[in-house]
Structure 1
Amino acid sequence: NLTILPKLEQLGVTVLRNESRVIEYQGQSFSLLGIDDPTTTRWREGLSEPDGIRQSLDQALQDVSPDAFQLLLAHRPEYKSLYAERSVDLVLSGHAHGGQIRLPFTEGLYAPGQGFFPAVTAGRYQEQQTELIVSRGLGNSLFPFRLFNHPELVVLTLKRP
């Protein structure tokens, strides 16, 4: 939702819209990238959503050293193959709400952007050299219930190998 962006910026939050920043901590650094969600972006007419994601990734990566560790914040986990195309090291994502309703031996019954019986809803996924971590999140989608799908807040510690 584009209406929240000015409010976040007034609070001093840096919103990464198809851009990157170098984060330095205790003598180490990495590149933090953020891309717009397709629902908040207007790509040029006729551009497909996957090609729009590629364009956003290229924009975010334009000033990033290829040797830098790259951590991407991307709302949509279903585009993991596109993130892997660009060799992003680690992607943090959400959007799938853990499949909203989870039954034993399923990834969930429905996820926004993936439909029924989604493949990417929560946890860790690997595609080529890209690792994707998907949080089930704290909220709900338009359907206001969760079943066998506890809210989740993911905490990561990045360590140099």
Structure 2
Amino acid sequence: MWLGCVAGGSNTGKESPSKVVKKFIAWYAQNLHRLQTINLVGAAPLVPNDTTQYYVVNFAATEQYLQELQQSGYISGTYVENWRNYFARADENFRQNPQYDGPPDFFDYDLVMQSQDFEEDFGSPTRQQVVKEWKKRNKAGVVVLFPYSGLKLSYRLSFTAGKWQIDDIENISNQ
């Protein structure tokens, strides 16, 4: 199994939060298809000797996925921890509400882009537009519009260890 990723470039702390976000988007676009091959959801019986395989979170794969995102240099430990909590909630949901077909709950969209329809926006690095940026001490926010899909994402960043890193990404398209 190949665990490497394409390097994300340097995130030195000299870059603005919007530059960090744009570089992360470029990194993600370059690594998207490989990251999508990581099977975050597996199948297992709920009780021994049951032949029906229900969805479960593949925690080894989620750790691989999060590690690769973090190795980009643009994602913070806070972002990783938030997704670990999300995966735990998803697994608990699968156990309480067994599901064995169709798109798995919690995983029916791209987790980074918070949407299903966005890949056309990756066709050109100039397509994404920073429409808002704020910075206060060691916190910052950047809102990016993806014009083709109409997707609007809000990135929250913090300045830690001498560089800006993404703590959270939220789809605010309907706001």
- Structure 1 and Structure 2 fold alike (TM over 0.5): no
TM-score, normalised to structure 2's length? 0.22
TM-score, normalised to structure 1's length? 0.24
Work out which structure has the larger RCO, using CA pairs closer than 8 Å and 6 or more positions apart in sequence: 2
Richer in helix (by share)? 2
